[in-house]
Structure 1
Amino acid sequence: MRRFLFIFSTLFSTFFNAQMKPNLIPYPQSLTLQEGKFIIPETLILNDKLPKEETEYFKKRLGSQVKFQSISSTEKVHVMYMQIPQPKIPVNPEGKKESYSIDISPKEIFISSDTKQGYFLALQTLIQLFEEHKEDGAIPAMEIKDSPKFAWRGMHLDVCRHFFNVDEVKQYIDYLAMYKLNTFHWHLTDDQGWRIEIKKYPKLTGIGSKRKESMIGAYVDNTFDGKPYGPYFYTQEQIKDVVKYAQERHITVIPEIEMPGHALAALAAYPELACTKGPFESATKWGVFDDVFCPKEETFTFLENVLDEVMTLFPSQYIHIGGDECPKTRWKECAHCQKLIKKNNLKDEHGLQSYFIHRIEKYVNSQGRKIIGWDEILEGGLAPNAAVMSWTGVNGGIEATKSGHFAVMTPGAYCYFDHYQGDPQSEPNAFGGFTPLEKVYSYDPVPVELNAEQAKYILGVQANLWTEYITDFKQVQYMIFPRLMALSEVGWGTADPKNYKEFESRVIGQFKVLDKMGVNYARSIYNISGKVIPASSAIAYELTVSQDPKGIRYTTDGTEPSLNSKTYQGPVNIIKSMTVKSVYFENGKLKSAVSSQEFTVSKTTGKKITLDQQPSENYSFGGAFTLVDGIIGNTRQLGKTWLGFQGKDVVATIDLGQKTGFSEVYFNTLENKGSWIHLAKSAQIFVSDDGQKFKMIKEIGKEEIQSSKGKIKLNIGNQNSRYIKLKIENAGIIPAGNPGADSKAWLFVDEIGVN
């Protein structure tokens, strides 16, 4: 093993038993506290033969906390040194190039690793220990033996919807390095902008790197800022600079060049690559668009030439080729595409998608590289050597691994950091969804459906940051922190959801570091979280906070809470329509934003409810109970208060407990076609006394639902039944001319109420 030794010029021994778990993220695989502590000296003595780049990084990170002195390892003094293995001995026989160990005693700090990469990761651990103990001046004695569970621990950044300059991208890479992530997925092309210089095709950046305006606010508002955006792109020299910067931090940069869909910016520059004549322009809206690359020879020549320049800039084994959300509308109408389908005996346009991906993979493989793509590359059959990035859920990863393909797990329900992480009412505008810190921390990248052999094909885990609603780098910081810390521990393999509160305390400890760096992290962890729970009275509202819950103050009359308001002592009973507002005080000082929740109580509130089909994992917060929790969904915030179903009908049965009189039923569905969300096609209401035999009492069609804009309130006459069932029909396959044409529509439903 290569050995790295820290010993300091001023040491003395003191013995103690540390009671606190070290504030390390990700937490090591093995950490044993020892007696004594290591006193941090004024001067740290380093051997001059240590790996230069890694050691310089270490010195810069510690900054003015300690001074440094370099000496030769031949001198008989306390030093940090490295022992080089014999060249003929395999450096990494077990493939654990990121393994390391650290022994901290009252006399020395000793690092062992086979590789510079392991040494670098060990330094990250030491930096965290130095930062944690800089005030008390002593690090507890301990022994650490550590290595990651997963080889791919990644973060993605979309620079197409909104652009971030080189310095900001480097900061992003620094954040990954701090928490031992090793892969940076750089999303460089999309409908809204082409961000990488390709010398053979200058129009890609000359035309495709700008758009005439940008959508602002929620998608349903359909409003624009009227301001030209761009030109914004990275020159090839800037790309090289970023790649080198990442390599110095042992981070692999994976470029993504989208195909065959998400291609409008490229088609704006080179319209001859489309199925129709155009003209085209870079998209000003978010979403999915029908115009995509046409699978003709000139298109493949273009893409091969682009990939040649990309592969010259990026030494990564994998090249990401997108492959997601490719509408087949244009291909269905294209004579060339239909002829190609027949010529190659393809089943349909999905087979043509597979043909496209196979062509690209064959070329990339010929250059000694491999492709990875979003799970839609499974359509029509997976290319022979392709890896899958599973985002729509876990099924793509399961299908890939069961067929012997590698997969990176990045399901939207856990790994999309453009979702809300706190109460949507007090958060900046986000894409949707609700993915709090605890949910990220609970994720296990290995699906339970896989056996041990299949699980070996799970490369790892990644989180994605799409930037439709992220307009500057401060908001990038806000959206990734502290969730990046949870991802870090999940990828390292030491996350333990049962001990989430302990992890949360370590996160709060890390905030001091982020404060020092000037990082704009989300403080949602300090805010009060509310959860509706069943109660004998109907429902109750349970409030939790990361600190002492006795600091919570709340009101139920809609007034703003203060230090003199009611002290929280347990779940608040909700027996009538009301608004609960709450805040958190610590030592008499306000520490949180105001959390506000309005309740609308009806005869179904808190009652037992069952669903024939379960919602999508991305939009399933609270499960079926969400539909009877007394909370009306906010049409601009899809995270906590709606259930989302893709391609499925909603069939909900509610048990009122006893025969109950009622005459009105209400519920809402949502329309946001840009996000593939369509109003219900129809709805039927049934009643029953025994829960077995149901009688339909009301039916409404598409026209009535559309005229009400999805806000359904129905007079059903005087009823007296124990059970009520609603069947809300999904719109089905999205028709041509709409974003996501030919895909399954989403149906979103909120509270089902009865009066």
Structure 2
Amino acid sequence: MKYFCFLIILYYSLPCVGKIFPPLLPQPQKIVYTHEKLILDQIYLENTENLQEWCAWLHETNTTVTSIPAPKTIKINILPQLPEIPLNSQEGYKIKITNNQIHVSATSSTGTYRALQTIRQLTCKDKDIYYLPTCEITDWPAFRIRGFMHDVGRTYISLKELKKEIELLSRFKINVFHWHLTENQAWRLESKLYPELNSPQNMTRMPGKYYTLQEAKELVKFCKEHHVMLIPEIDMPGHSEAFNRAFHADMQSQKGMEILKKLMDEVCETFDVPYIHIGTDEVKFTNPEFVPEMVRYVRSKGKKVISWNPGWNYQPGEIDMTQLWSYRGKAQPGIPAIDCRFHYLNHFDTYADLVALYNSRIYNCGQGSEDIAGSILAIWNDRYITDEKQIVAENNLYANMLALAERAWLGGGTCYFDGPETLLRTETPETNQKFADFEQRMLWHKHHTFAGEPFPYVRQSHVKWNITDAFPNQGDLRKKFPPEDTEAETYEYEGKRYKTHTVNGAGIYLRHVWGNLVPGFYKNPQENHTAYATTWVYSPEQQSAGLLLEFQNYSRSESDLPPEPGKWDYKESRAWLNGHELLPPQWQSTHKERSNEIPLTNENCVSRPPLQVQLHKGWNKLMLKLPIGKFQTPQVRLVKWMFTAVFVTPDGTESLENLIYSPTNPEKQ
């Protein structure tokens, strides 16, 4: 025990623990450091490609840009081809940094823009001196589409917020913004031909909130400046109650199609973009000519067309791209596909799903192809949320987007969402280390690139749990089992043996919200069972701490009821710290009837202060009781058998970095 404590003290005395420099994200495909420095003081910019962006970066580093040749130069070459780039060459680039030159080669201005984002991240500072490590980089994206989507049809998001997100994420080579503009609740794009579409009386949520055509053009221009492709979506013929209210006509009727074609004239004129998304999902097709006719019409305007899959059934040549939204969606040879299956952030929790996303493969492919274009992460706010910061925080937008940014750029991954490595399992140390490395780089950017933005994620790769096999509770969620009385590796109960297993992470699904489609901790989870999770936490001193704790992450697409007063959830979940029960907060919402129009308040742990707790000096025991009854209940449609638990600073913003987590009590080893 004395030796163990000495190791703890030694660990925290090391000055470089937790530091990764430079924090490149996504990591380049190939990089070789040459162990010198280029001091950024005075430099000559030889080429004007992306001049404004380069000058902005040099201004940030206090570098003087000279108008005449100088000993230090930035040289940018646009070449017909780069033989070393195997795919997606229009975004590929090469960088060579010596102690007196930055040399960038690319086949397009987009490639040089991507190179600049890498150079931004390479930039180091020592006191008041900025410098770059000398190196050679050859880099390209594995997938050509790497994007995010906002459903502003349901929940209007200000243009200022959208621009901020696009600009920040473009620094990580995200290259698509999917703008879902129309929904049952509202038609959010101005129409000068049919102003009744934007009338407050025809909107059932956030009435009067829409984007003018000039704002739409402005956002297209903004995206182009950041080398992001905007994909506007006008959903048809489903998700169109706002259209029906305005015109008293169904889109699939003759009158509806005539109006819709004029609207598409307006849309195609407004959006100087290559693709228009036309939806086509979750609807009964009553007019077999509707979809083929609308695709032909939009194509006649010089636009390519994207459609959801499942949706209308296309043959190669009949559509330009499909977007897979359900596990039933399948890529078809000859039709490029965007994989969004299991990529709905509105159902993600803060921690466990991020691990799955980072470890997973896009459409189970190591890299893109003509048929597999990439992936988009989507936020569908079926549940009304009024606060834009809450939307970003509860969907953990930035952390998830950085996970996608690296996975879609590098390619690879260990499995799809159906593999065991979607958890931080201790039997896969290589996968765990890769995630921990990514996590450190991501957290550096949380504190620097995203400073001041909602970014609720804290370090979790070091958190360790012991979880029992599940005990049958026969529907009695309060039933007590042996782990409440003693801690052991194996338990005997009613003639059966129940083992314990170790797993890492601040968020653990025992059963995922999508059931067995996405694996959780248990291979075959059953209703009416109770599990226990335990972690031992070493604190070098007695200290106040916060504890992020939840047992049901509330999806932003569900009308689920808040927990009852004095209860964590409808599953009878409980928690104890050093034998003292931890009671839930006071829930702000108390309504008894389910409704998507009642906003979430403090149901999710990222939207409330952490529990305030005291940690003893030495080892502290946190134990969670995790019963489950039915997987669907009247109060909660999709019950998540899960938990989130991690100790943080009292204000909840950071993990407590002077703690050591152990799945078992080291004092008894």
Match of 1:79 in 2: 73
SS, match of residue 241 in structure 1: helix
Q: Does 1:576 align with 2:504?
A: no
Match of 2:239 in 1: 262
Backbone CA RMSD of aligned residues: 4.3
CA distance in 2, matches of 1:629, 1:532: 14
The Cα of 1:501 is off from its aligned counterpart by: 1.2
The Cα of 1:493 is off from its aligned counterpart by: 2.2
Cα distance change of structure 1 residues 312 and 392 upon mapping to structure 2, 3 Å threshold: same
- Unpaired runs of at least 5, structure 1: 1-18, 215-228, 275-292, 332-336, 341-351, 424-433, 540-573, 581-600, 640-670, 676-710, 714-727, 732-745
CA contact (8 A) 2:87 2:141 kept: no
SS, match of residue 234 in structure 2: strand
Match of 1:401 in 2: 332
The Cα of 1:79 is off from its aligned counterpart by: 2.9
CA contact (8 A) 1:197 1:233 kept: yes
CA contact (8 A) 1:626 1:750 kept: no
Matches within 5 A, 1:211-250: 211=204, 229-250=206-227
Q: Does 1:170 align with 2:104?
A: no
The Cα of 1:520 is off from its aligned counterpart by: 1.6
CA contact (8 A) 2:467 2:531 kept: no
SS, match of residue 482 in structure 1: helix
CA distance in 1, matches of 2:485, 2:184: 45
Q: 2:104 aligns with which of 87, 98, 111?
A: 111
Q: Does 1:484 align with 2:401?
A: yes
Match of 1:720 in 2: none
SS, match of residue 80 in structure 1: strand
Q: Does 1:185 align with 2:115?
A: no
Match of 2:56 in 1: 60
- Unpaired runs of at least 5, structure 2: 1-18, 415-430, 473-480, 488-492, 501-509, 534-549, 557-591, 597-626, 643-669
Cα distance change of structure 1 residues 603 and 421 upon mapping to structure 2, 3 Å threshold: farther
CA distance in 2, matches of 1:46, 1:576: 67
Q: 2:294 aligns with which of 357, 360, 365?
A: 360
Q: 1:410 aligns with which of 340, 343, 350?
A: 340
User: CA offsets per residue over residues 336-381 of structure 1, 9 Å max, x none?
Assistant: x4xx6xxxxxxxxxxx4xx432221121222222221221224587
Matches within 5 A, 1:485-504: 485-494=402-411, 496=413, 498=431, 499-504=434-439
Match of 2:45 in 1: 46
1:255 partner letter: P
User: CA offsets per residue over residues 80-130 of structure 1, 9 Å max, x none?
Assistant: 2445668x999x997511111111122222111121111111110111112
2:376 partner letter: Q
User: CA offsets per residue over residues 689-720 of structure 1, 9 Å max, x none?
Assistant: xxxxxxxxxxxxxxxxxxxxxx999xxxxxxx
The Cα of 1:532 is off from its aligned counterpart by: 5.5
CA distance in 1, matches of 2:98, 2:187: 53
Q: Which has the higher contact order (CA 8 A, sep 6+)?
A: 2
Matches within 5 A, 1:686-725: none
SS, match of residue 377 in structure 1: coil
Match of 1:545 in 2: none
Q: 2:517 aligns with which of 613, 617, 622?
A: 617
Match of 1:458 in 2: 372
Match of 1:217 in 2: none
CA distance in 1, matches of 2:78, 2:350: 49
Matches within 5 A, 1:502-517: 502-516=437-451
The Cα of 1:232 is off from its aligned counterpart by: 0.7
CA distance in 1, matches of 2:48, 2:28: 24
SS, match of residue 483 in structure 2: coil
SS, match of residue 364 in structure 1: helix
SS, match of residue 147 in structure 2: strand
Normalising by structure 2, report the TM-score: 0.64
CA contact (8 A) 2:176 2:228 kept: yes
1:459 partner letter: A
SS, match of residue 576 in structure 1: helix
CA contact (8 A) 1:26 1:494 kept: no
The Cα of 1:35 is off from its aligned counterpart by: 2.5
Match of 1:196 in 2: 189
The Cα of 1:421 is off from its aligned counterpart by: 3.2
User: CA offsets per residue over residues 555-591 of structure 1, 9 Å max, x none?
Assistant: xxxxxxxxxxxxxxxxxxx8334899xxxxxxxxxxx
The Cα of 1:488 is off from its aligned counterpart by: 0.3
**Percent identity of the aligned residues?**
26
The number of aligned residues is: 494
Cα distance change of structure 1 residues 380 and 103 upon mapping to structure 2, 3 Å threshold: closer
CA distance in 1, matches of 2:235, 2:130: 51
CA distance in 2, matches of 1:159, 1:578: 51
Match of 1:385 in 2: 319
SS, match of residue 184 in structure 1: strand
CA contact (8 A) 2:275 2:306 kept: yes
CA distance in 1, matches of 2:260, 2:144: 29
Match of 2:387 in 1: 472
SS, match of residue 59 in structure 1: helix
Computing the radius of gyration from Cα coordinates, the structure with the larger value is 1
Q: Does 1:369 align with 2:303?
A: yes
Matches within 5 A, 1:260-299: 260-271=237-248, 273-274=249-250, 293=251, 295-299=252-256
2:158 partner letter: N
CA contact (8 A) 2:88 2:140 kept: no
CA distance in 1, matches of 2:323, 2:347: 19
CA distance in 1, matches of 2:183, 2:497: 44
1:401 partner letter: Q
1:30 partner letter: K
Q: Does 1:439 align with 2:367?
A: no
CA contact (8 A) 2:186 2:202 kept: yes
Q: Does 1:630 align with 2:628?
A: no
Cα distance change of structure 1 residues 371 and 530 upon mapping to structure 2, 3 Å threshold: farther
CA contact (8 A) 1:208 1:265 kept: no
Q: 2:267 aligns with which of 310, 319, 333?
A: 310
The Cα of 1:523 is off from its aligned counterpart by: 2.4
CA distance in 2, matches of 1:622, 1:59: 53
Cα distance change of structure 1 residues 457 and 469 upon mapping to structure 2, 3 Å threshold: same
